[in-house]
Amino acid sequence: MTTFGYFLSCEEHGPKELVRQAKAAERAGFEALWISDHFHPWLDEQGQAPFVWSVIGAIAEATSLPITTAVTCPLVRTHPVVIAHATATTAALTGGRFRLGVGTGEALNEHVVDSRWPPLSERLEMLEEAIELMRELFTGKLVTHRGRHYQVDTARLYTLPDEPAPILVSGLGEKSTALAGRLGDGYVSVAPDADAVRAFRAAGGTGKPALGGLKACYAEDEKAARKTVHRLWPTQGIKGEAAQLLPLPRHFEQLAEMVSEDDAVAGSPVGPDPEVHAQAIRQYVEAGFDEVYVNQIGPEQDAFFDFYQREVLPRVR
């Protein structure tokens, strides 16, 4: 049975609004939550980037839904010891309803503490070491670590959940997907790619959950919805490695000027037709994803939740 969840966007909404949306998602029948972890938004137009751990703490008390970060980068901006500390506390606070989603990150968020942005091969090495280090800390034992990328001196986590929080790994390419299968407790993606799910399973992911996320824009006027997507998320139409390499929102704005409305909207269900939204979700289900998370682009959050509760979720369940 597929789980259908809501994807909270820290790039578009402030902390109080995110908590409000989490409660609305639960009332609408969504079964779980994703939440992004950013220091900067992709574009100034999006306008927000709250500290995700504070928001998760508030959501944990406001809802009973499981929460997953999609995704946290435990490499540069925040040391894996600190992420392990935050994860253990959050998992204890939620009674085991928290999973840590991790990935190799973007310069957009990570360069704020170090202008050198490592190449992907090095970031994958760092991610593997970070995962191993965090899992060692989750044991509650005293940890001293002298690794290639991280140094830790006599660190111990005292506040721990009953069971360690699962670590799910984002895979956007062959190498990261293989790492997710080999080291992760699950897989995170934002494309309905059946080949990637099969590669994750073949690399060691059999029996582990695959989670997929997509962006949508409900509005009574389809043309208005398309314009909202093009205004707020033209970055969906930017191809290649730019998303990992550019350091500032203005750089994405410069590239976004070359993104057409069609390219920005491609892959996102828009407008008032529930079957359009349901079919976009079914692509993830048919690709083999166990959990599918949907984000509503723009300000019409309450109308979206009402629409999905009445028209979309019944179609896909």
Please, is 2 exposed, middle or buried when counting C-beta atoms within 10 Å of its C-beta (0-12, 13-18, 19+)?
Answer: middle
Q: Exposed/middle/buried for 285, CB within 10 Å: 0-12, 13-18, 19+? A: middle
At 245, the amino acid letter reads: L
Residues labelled catalytic: 38, 106
3-state secondary structure labels for all residues of 48-91 = CCCCHHHHHHHHHHHCCCCEEECCECCCCCCCHHHHHHHHHHHH
Which among 316, 313, 315 is positioned nearest to 30, based on CA atoms? 313
User: Is 149:158 a contact under the CB 8 Å cutoff?
Assistant: no
